[in-house]
Amino acid sequence: MKPNHAEALVLEKVAIRLDGRTLIDISARVAPGNVLTVMGPSGSGKSTLLHALAGSLAPVFDLFGSVRLGDVDVLSLPAETRRMGLLFQDPLLFPHLSVCGNVMIAIPRDVSKARGERQHLAEDALTAIGLEGYGPRDPATLSGGQAARVALQRTLLSGPRALLLDEPFSKLDAALRQDMRALVFDHARARNLPVILVTHDPADAEAAGGEVFTLT
Ligand SMILES: Nc1ncnc2c1ncn2[C@@H]1O[C@H](COP(=O)(O)OP(=O)(O)OP(=O)(O)O)[C@@H](O)[C@H]1O
């Protein structure tokens, strides 16, 4: 597995403007293993902030300020080399791959090159989220909660340097939500990953235990 990076995610005067109007204005430091929870009403720019950090901001927006991950100037990198672990509300699994294939595809080549070993790691990851034996299935046959868990595990296994989570627990029932929160936050702590969590649910913020930034 990847070594721990122990790098803080630092947002300095990050401003996002739309049609000349400032939608977001934020400075924050997310320490390794910590969670910054971003809340705010619908349309306040929560997802837009994550897109800006991930490198997928729509061109209608203007972006200012700086984002650093350790020594890395994040905004100067193309999206594919930022190594941000992204998770949006809709799981977006590849329909042409099996459930196991969807997880395997995320395992970096430097973790394991041997197909058998990668498959083994993916099957173990499925077992860890209560989906033992689901590997060969078509993702279309999964429930919403099952697909969300697969997408989450795929993100965690991809060797991210930070996690950007957009309401990842909102479609899960209460018991599962608690398990998935523990999986994400324990993983982030164990691997020293800074996390930005967008949510409407104050219980998520409480479980995350870090600072809360509220957009207006
Ligand atoms: N591609 C786009 N082009 C133009 N405007 C956009 C685009 N994407 C988002 N917006 C606008 O930017 C604002 C912020 O949207 P965003 O999706 O970030 O809000 P949000 O806080 O995540 O909302 P929600 O809680 O409903 O998911 C909204 O006014 C939205 O209409």
Identity at 191, one-letter amino acid code: R
List the residue whose alpha carbon is closest to atom 24 of ligand 1: 42
At residue 109, the pLDDT reads 79
Ligand 1 closest atom vs CA 48: 18
Amino acid at 131: L
Domain 9-96+160-214, second-level architecture: 3-Layer(aba) Sandwich (3.40)
C-alpha to C-alpha distance for 13 and 82, rounded to whole angstroms = 19
Question: Ligand 1: does its nearest atom lie under 6 Å from the Cβ of 58?
Answer: yes
SS3 labels along 180-216: HHHHHHHHHHHCCCCEEEECCCHHHHHHHCCEEEECC
Residue 49's pLDDT band (cuts 50, 70, 90): very high
Over residues 50-76, the pLDDT tens digits come to: 999 999 999 999 999 999 999 999 999
Average model confidence (pLDDT) across the chain: 92
The domain spans of the chain are 9-96+160-214
The residue contributing the CA closest to ligand 1 atom 3 is 60
**Residue 49 alpha carbon to ligand 1 centre in Å:** 10
Residue-wise pLDDT for 145-169, tens only, equals 899 889 989 999 999 999 999 998 8
Asked if residue 47 has its Cβ within 6 Å of ligand 1, the reply is yes
Q: Is the CB of 51 under 6 A from ligand 1?
A: no
12 Cα–ligand 1 center, Å: 22
Burial of residue 216 (number of CB atoms within 10 Å: 0-12, 13-18, 19+): exposed
At residue 5, does pLDDT exceed 80? no
Classify 121 as helix, strand or coil.
Answer: helix
Least confident of 15-29, 108-122, 184-198: 108-122
Query: Residue of the nearest CA to atom 30 in ligand 1?
Result: 43
Positive or negative torsion for Cα 100, 146, 178, 167: positive
Numbers of helices and strands, H then E, in the chain: 6, 9
Upper half-sphere CA count for residue 209 (Cβ side, 13 Å): 12
- Higher pLDDT among residues 49 and 114, named by residue: 49
Cα(49)–Cα(198) distance, rounded to whole angstroms?
A: 9
